[in-house]
């Protein structure tokens, strides 16, 4: 046999050689790791790492934790991401680096805390033996060495940019494999808290031997007329032992996965163990352009075939947009000027440190968006991939920054990996090559380093330019001589001179502002290390918000700027140090609770109505003393009053704020503002003592995938339901169900309470009325109960549902203009009330009076401006387990009688189908007794028939409802268990059946879908995306809003606006009780008249009722005279 033939035979015997066994897989391996601290200076406590000569022979690992046979049963079990630094205590040190890292006991002075070992055991199937396998680490802090089965894979020095290691040669196929990582955080990289450990995701990658190389698809776009030209560069890698003939093709997909265009097939000969690049061009007609306002994401599917078999398939997300930074007009996105309203942020959050769950990125970015933020600088390091994914989807522009300006092999490679990884993200509009390199930025060395970095950008991503963040004034030397876009860190008063002298170099504010404040504090306290929560104090190198922003706003040539910082972060306590352990720079604290300066930026960075008073009005013991009151607003004029007495009306100067000196007396401090002829108002008031705890989860449905997480804010209210802004109570937290608390915080920059507690011992003190916990779901579906207690206070509890992970079934945008919106006259505003309880009250003999005169309760409500009544209906409330056993209140007969009274009064009617014999709400959606034995496929017909039967009865007596709800507060589904949100297909089918029942009687009846998610934007979008994509539809969207469950008014406003923007449907707050004026003002001031109105829930008999226990109207009913005057009579 010839040598050549022998070689070919051997090739054919290699398992899986050029035989497609499925395409690539990317498997998250974050779960079930083992962890143990090592020691940076004592090898015996570091598992003999520097004693055993493990590098003498390949695979030598005996006597160390690297050995696959090492017994790690005594090690701690955990899931990634993990930051062990956040678990360490605080300790005072005079060392400046320890101070700048937040006084955590880690680094060279604490060798016992600075090394961590991780081990992961996992199987790899024998069927994978023909594949290429790799481990991808998205981020480890830092200096991580990696082994598989005792074989050294390599080291990644960077604490920020990820690294991928090929493990193919070292795998034990058909058995267990042991992955070991030694992390050494002794040496810091930055001058701020950086964490320690495997704090980002880890992935197992499987590909065929011929595949698209890692980060091997590069997409550039440009627009020509009404079409987009998409240039795609692809790197194909052949890791087999023969030349392979391939065919490569690309498909352009919509965000839902529909094929919109495709390239021709290009043949390619892939040489042995080589990479080869090829280029395609695809033209897409009528593209949706990506922008901060419309962040549309496309996908490229890259298809590789060899020997007529599919060997690889890669999907890459991208956006179609043009970016240019012009020296005269600033940043241009798709040719339109966009002023950068940005923030700098470190990767650090209360409770979790740098190990930020994916959900938390969205939560933080949405807080920033509400402030008007449209840009994010990744200070001063490569960000996580999930952060960029979130920015892509939310329309946040990103300045993507490498860790260090350096052209040496290590740092050039880090920057190279960053560019290759991130260059397809449409949110990334510019690269930052470094920050405040004071040793070199004015020198020829700095200039040369910058040129090398710029050359790398030009090589790898010619579609973008770069900048450098210079803490220099009007200086054109060193780096500034060559950098394409001049970045200013502070020094804003030098910008105009610099622009005058260098008019062809664009300018951007890379770090601006930097007011230092402490949330809820109004007097400097050098002992505790607190600063006033106003735009007063800035370090010598920085400036206040009102110093820099008016300059940026006034000049088109200035592209805008990035505030230092969006959030407080651990480390860099300024100007005070110990006991301070984190910064004061944020417009929000570490939990994301806004400080007062947040509302300054919101006033001038958004078009929303902003009217904010500070400070709070709990100043017992300061009666008669002068309190300086700040009002932030974008209104034209503002009038302030205390307890009904005017303190004067003032004109608001643009990009500024207003002040009043007010002699303190307890009561209500109210501001009324006028904006474009409209009236808006807000107030702060003196509260009572803490009375009851409140838990506010920012979503109540989580995926049972071991990763999904939710922020739960903790506050306290007084006996009248008002939030107490100065409460400092210690709160204990307990949990049941398959979930875990992963961190707590309160935003206090001098609090030394642990962010991580022992299981069963979670607690945190409130700081100025607020604290926070972060909850992560387990892997089992079910109910999670969270409870908070505090000495002397009523407890709070919250129920969350964990469900299987799933995605929308298709496009939700198809429903943006569907439904029956055209039937709804948006000028017909609703001031409604749910008075379903009225027949029961009357059955007990209650009569109703207004100003001493007995009248029908419906007529009294009408006299005060109400024009719509909501009535609930149960299937069989007379049933044993029904709402009203043997009496049948809220059954069809009682509801028909009420409908006659409503229509006789000349009011409109909303009929609320509960599809239950009892209350239906997020905690219970019990199936009617009559339907309990129905198979799931029979339930839609039961819903359809019942709905039709009820409406035919209303039609027969001439009282057809004007609007119908298909279910009540159905964010967790309806008609359980079949219609639970964990079964989205069933739930959508049930909703459609109800709608069909309505339309079969009268197509003019408006249909509302109602969820109890007033302030939970993420869950709201999740719910409606999934229902609309599965064919459910509605004419308008209804929300419940109760502050104790649904967050702040700002949360409500943001949710309503996002619904309108995303779905194009009118909205209604169909249940509320407290904050009557504020809720109505929020809804009626929504843009484009899309806020249709409100329904107060049971004003006759429940919280803050407008009638007392004897049926006499209370002063609260007068609130609706004012609401009607402002929003109903005026607009109608």
Per-domain residue ranges of the chain: 20-206, 210-318, 341-605, 621-648+658-683, 692-803, 813-818+830-1129
Mean pLDDT score of the chain, rounded to an integer? Answer: 95
Predicted pLDDT of residue 616: 98
> Is the distance from CB of 556 to CB of 328 less than 8 angstroms?
yes
What is the CATH number assigned to the segment(s) 692-803?
Answer: 2.60.40.10
**Where would I find the beta strands (DSSP E) of 615-708?**
626-633, 637-642, 645-651, 658-663, 668-675, 678-685, 692-697, 701-703
Fold classification of 20-206 is: Jelly Rolls (2.60.120)
Q: Where are the beta strands (DSSP E) in 565-663?
A: 611-614, 626-633, 637-642, 645-651, 658-663
Instruction: Decide if 374 contacts 343 (C-beta within 8 A).
Output: no
pLDDT of 714 > 60? The answer is yes
**What pairs with residue 250 in β-bridges?**
302
Residue 138 reports pLDDT greater than 70: yes
pLDDT at 1130: 61
Q: Return the bridge partners of 1007, or none.
A: 964
pLDDT one-digit tens code per residue, 87-108 = 999 999 999 999 999 999 999 9
On whether the CB atoms of residues 379 and 567 are closer than 8 A, the answer is no
In the structure encoding, which two tokens stand for residue 247, read together? 């065919």
Specify the 3-state DSSP secondary structure of 728.
coil
> What is the C-alpha to C-alpha distance for residues 233 and 215, in angstroms, rounded to an integer?
11
- pLDDT at residue 1, as a whole number: 38
Give the closest residue to 117 by CA, choosing from 55, 60, 75, 162.
75
Alpha-helix residue ranges (DSSP H) falling in 377-408: 385-394
Q: What is the radius of gyration, based on Cα positions, of the chain?
A: 31
- pLDDT the model gives residue 15: 32
pLDDT per residue as tens digits for the range 37-84: 999 999 999 999 999 999 999 999 999 999 999 999 999 999 999 999
**Per-residue pLDDT for 17 more than 50?**
no
Partner residues linked to 651 by β-bridges: 637
pLDDT of residue 230: 98
922-938: average pLDDT: 95
The pLDDT assigned to 22 comes to 66
- Top CATH class, 813-818+830-1129: alpha beta
- State percent of the chain over pLDDT 70: 96
User: Nearest 5°: phi and psi at 1084?
Assistant: -70, -15
pLDDT of residue 1109: 86
Q: Is the omega angle on the peptide bond into residue 615 within 30 degrees of 0, that is, cis?
A: yes
Strands of 263-372, DSSP E: 266-270, 274-285, 298-306, 309-318, 323-326, 330-333, 336-337, 340-345
Q: Helix crossing, 545-554 with 597-605: angle to 10°?
A: 10
Reported as a pLDDT band with limits 50, 70 and 90, residue 826 is low
Give the class (CATH, top level) of 210-318: mainly beta
* Sheet of 709-717, strand order: 692-697, 709-717, 771-777, 739-745
Does position 4 have pLDDT exceeding 50, yes or no?
Answer: no
What does the pLDDT read at residue 1105?
81
Q: What is the distance between the alpha carbons of residues 394 and 369, in angstroms, rounded to a whole number? A: 9
Q: Which two tokens stand for residue 570?
A: 């651990």
Give pLDDT, residue 817.
42
Instruction: Please check the confidence at residue 427 and state whether its pLDDT lies above 70.
Output: yes
The arithmetic mean of pLDDT across residues 779-802, rounded, is: 98
Predicted confidence at residue 12, as pLDDT, reads 30
Examine the pLDDT at 821 and tell me if it is beyond 70.
no
Given 189, 511, 723, 1071, which residue is catalytic?
511
Q: Which of 189, 209, 436, 1098 is catalytic?
A: 436
Burial class (CB in 10 A: 0-12, 13-18, 19+), 324: middle
Q: What is the dihedral of CA 1092, 1053, 1013, 946, to 10 degrees?
A: 10
Q: Answer whether residue 487 shows pLDDT above 60.
A: yes
Instruction: Tell me the helix, strand and coil percentages in the chain, rounded to 5.
Output: 20, 35, 45
| Residues 230-241 pLDDT 10s | 999 999 999 999
Fold (topology level) of 341-605: TIM Barrel (3.20.20)
**Using an 8 Å Cβ cutoff, are 115 and 33 in contact?**
no
User: In Å, how far are 6, 9, 241 from 2, measured between CA atoms?
Assistant: 6, 11, 18
8 A C-beta contact, residue 567 and residue 588? yes
pLDDT greater than 90 at residue 1039: yes
How confident is the model over 176-215, as pLDDT tens digits?
999 999 999 999 999 999 999 999 999 999 999 999 999 9
Give me the mean pLDDT over the 253-257 stretch: 94
The answer to whether the 621-648+658-683 and 813-818+830-1129 domains have the same CATH topology is no
- Rounded to whole angstroms, how far apart are CA atoms 606 and 600? 10
Known catalytic residue at 492: no
Tell me which of 513-522, 806-815, 1020-1029, 1054-1063 is least confident: 806-815
Decide: 428 and 398 in contact? Cβ < 8 Å.
Answer: yes
**Domain 621-648+658-683 = CATH 3.20.20.140:** no
Task: Report the DSSP beta bridge partners of residue 27.
Answer: 204
What is the CA angle 735-195-94, rounded to 5?
A: 115
Instruction: Establish whether 511 is a catalytic residue.
Output: yes
| Contacts (Cβ under 8 Å, ≥6 apart) of 1061 | none
The residue behind tokens 């570091």 is 46
Cβ neighbours around 1088 below 10 Å, total:
9
Q: Are the C-beta atoms of residues 257 and 238 closer than 8 Å to each other?
A: no
Average pLDDT, stretch 586-596? 98
Residue 322's pLDDT band (cuts 50, 70, 90): very high
Residue 16: predicted pLDDT = 34
**981 to 614, 782, 1106: CA distances (angstroms):** 41, 11, 35
């Amino acid at each position: 046999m010839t040598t050549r033939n022998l070689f070919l035979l051997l090739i054919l015997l290699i398992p899986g050689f050029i035989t497609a066994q499925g395409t690539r897989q990317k498997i998250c391996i974050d779960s079930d790791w083992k962890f143990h601290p090592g020691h940076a200076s004592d090898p015996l406590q570091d598992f003999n790492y520097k004693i055993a000569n493990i590098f003498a022979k390949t695979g030598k690992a005996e006597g160390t934790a690297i050995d696959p046979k090492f017994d790690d049963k005594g090690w701690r079990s955990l899931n990634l991401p993990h930051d062990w630094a956040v678990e360490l205590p605080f300790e005072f040190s005079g060392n400046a680096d320890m101070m700048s890292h937040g006084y955590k006991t880690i680094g060279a002075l604490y060798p016992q805390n600075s090394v961590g070992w991780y081990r992961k055991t996992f199987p790899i199937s024998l069927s994978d033996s023909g594949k290429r396998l790799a481990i991808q680490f998205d981020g480890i802090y830092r200096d991580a060495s990696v082994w598989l089965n005792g074989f050294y894979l390599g080291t990644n020095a960077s604490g920020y940019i990820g690294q991928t290691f090929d493990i193919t040669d070292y795998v034990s196929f058909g058995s267990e494999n042991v992955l070991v990582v030694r992390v050494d955080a002794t040496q810091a990289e930055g001058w701020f808290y950086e964490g320690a450990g495997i704090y980002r995701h880890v992935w197992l990658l499987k590909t065929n031997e011929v595949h698209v190389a890692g980060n091997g698809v590069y997409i550039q776009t440009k627009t020509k007329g009404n079409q987009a030209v998409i240039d795609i560069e692809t790197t194909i890698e052949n890791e087999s032992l023969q030349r392979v003939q391939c065919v490569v093709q690309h498909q352009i997909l919509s965000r839902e996965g529909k094929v919109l265009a495709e390239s021709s097939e290009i043949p390619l000969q892939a040489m042995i163990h080589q990479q080869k690049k090829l280029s395609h061009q695809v033209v897409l007609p009528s593209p949706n352009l990506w922008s901060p306002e419309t962040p549309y994401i496309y996908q490229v599917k890259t298809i590789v075939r060899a020997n007529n078999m599919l060997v690889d398939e890669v999907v890459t997300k991208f956006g179609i947009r043009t970016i240019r930074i012009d020296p005269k007009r600033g940043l241009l996105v798709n040719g339109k000027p966009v002023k950068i309203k940005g923030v700098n942020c470190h990767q650090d959050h209360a409770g979790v440190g740098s190990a930020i769950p994916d959900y938390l990125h969205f939560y933080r970015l949405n807080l920033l968006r509400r402030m008007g933020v449209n840009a994010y600088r990744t200070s001063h390091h490569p960000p996580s991939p999930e952060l960029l994914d979130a920015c892509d989807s939310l329309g946040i522009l990103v300045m993507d920054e490498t860790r260090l300006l350096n052209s040496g092999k290590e740092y050039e490679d880090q920057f190279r990996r960053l560019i290759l990884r991130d260059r397809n993200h449409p949110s990334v509009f510019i690269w930052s090559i470094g920050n405040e390199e004071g040793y070199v930025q004015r020198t020829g060395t700095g200039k040369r380093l910058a040129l090398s970095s710029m050359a790398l950008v030009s090589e790898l991503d010619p579609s973008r330019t770069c900048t450098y963040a210079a803490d220099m004034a009007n200086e054109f030397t060193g780096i500034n001589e060559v950098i394409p876009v001049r970045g200013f860190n502070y020094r804003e008063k030098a910008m105009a001179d610099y622009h005058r002298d260098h008019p062809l170099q664009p300018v951007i504010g890379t770090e601006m502002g930097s007011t230092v404040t402490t949330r809820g504090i109004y007097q400097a306290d050098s002992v505790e290390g607190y600063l006033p929560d106003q735009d007063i104090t800035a370090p010598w190198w920085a400036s206040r918000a009102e110093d820099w922003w008016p300059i940026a706003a006034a000049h088109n040539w200035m592209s805008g700027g990035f505030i230092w910082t969006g959030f407080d972060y651990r480390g860099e306590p300024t100007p005070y140090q110990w006991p301070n352990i984190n910064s004061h720079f944020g417009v929000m604290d570490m939990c994301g609770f806004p400080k007062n300066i947040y509302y300054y930026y919101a006033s001038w960075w958004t078009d929303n109505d902003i009217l904010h008073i500070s400070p709070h009005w709990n100043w017992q013991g300061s009666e008669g003393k002068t309190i300086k009151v700040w009002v932030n607003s974008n209104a034209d004029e503002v009038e302030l009053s205390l307890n009904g007495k005017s303190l004067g009306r003032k004109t608001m100067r643009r990009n500024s704020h207003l002040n009043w000196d007010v002699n303190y007396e307890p009561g209500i401090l109210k501001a009324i503002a006028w904006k474009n002829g409209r009236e808006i108002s807000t107030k702060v008031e003196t509260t009572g003592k803490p009375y009851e705890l409140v838990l506010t989860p920012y979503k109540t449905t989580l995926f049972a995938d071991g990763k999904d997480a939710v922020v739960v804010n903790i506050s306290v209210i007084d006996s009248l339901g008002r939030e107490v802004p100065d409460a400092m109570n210690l709160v204990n937290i307990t949990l049941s169900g398959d979930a875990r608390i992963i961190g707590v915080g309160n935003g206090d920059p001098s609090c030394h309470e642990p962010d991580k507690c022992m299981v069963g011992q979670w607690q945190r003190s409130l700081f100025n009325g607020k604290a926070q916990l972060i909850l992560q779901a387990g892997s089992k579906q079910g109910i999670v109960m969270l409870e908070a207690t505090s000495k002397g206070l009523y407890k709070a509890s919250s129920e969350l549902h964990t469900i299987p992970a799933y995605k929308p079934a298709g496009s939700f945008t198809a429903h943006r203009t569907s439904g029956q919106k055209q039937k709804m006259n948006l000028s017909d505003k609703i001031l409604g009330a749910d008075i379903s309880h009225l027949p029961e009250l009357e059955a007990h003999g209650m009569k109703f009076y207004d100003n001493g005169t007995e009248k029908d309760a419906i007529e009294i409500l009408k006299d005060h401006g109400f024009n719509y009544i909501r009535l609930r209906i149960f299937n069989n409330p007379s049933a044993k387990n029904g709402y009203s056993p043997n009496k049948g209140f809220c059954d069809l007969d009682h509801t028909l009688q009420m409908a006659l009274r409503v229509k006789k009064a000349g009011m409109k009617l909303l009929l609320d189908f509960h599809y239950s014999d009892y209350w239906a709400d997020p905690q219970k959606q019990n199936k009617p007794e009559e339907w309990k034995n129905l198979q799931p496929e029979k339930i839609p017909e039961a819903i359809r028939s019942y709905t039709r039967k009820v409406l035919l009865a209303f039609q027969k007596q001439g009282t057809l409802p004007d609007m119908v709800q298909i279910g009540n507060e159905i964010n967790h589904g309806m008609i359980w268990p079949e219609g639970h949100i964990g079964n989205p297909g069933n739930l959508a089918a049930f909703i459609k059946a109800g709608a069909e029942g309505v339309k079969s009687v009268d197509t003019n009846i408006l249909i509302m879908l109602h969820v109890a998610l007033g302030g939970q934007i993420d869950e709201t979008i999740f719910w409606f995306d999934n229902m609309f994509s599965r064919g459910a539809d509605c004419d308008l969207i209804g929300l419940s809003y109760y502050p104790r469950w649904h967050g702040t008014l700002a949360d409500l406003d943001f949710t309503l606006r996002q619904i309108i923007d995303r779905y194009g449907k009118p909205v209604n707050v169909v249940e509320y009780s407290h904050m009557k004026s504020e809720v109505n003002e929020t809804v009626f001031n929504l843009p484009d008249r899309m806020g249709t109105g409100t329904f107060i829930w049971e004003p006759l008999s429940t919280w803050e009722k407008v009638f007392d226990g004897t049926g006499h109207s209370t002063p609260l009913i007068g609130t609706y005279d004012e609401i009607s005057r402002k929003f109903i009579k005026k607009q109608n």
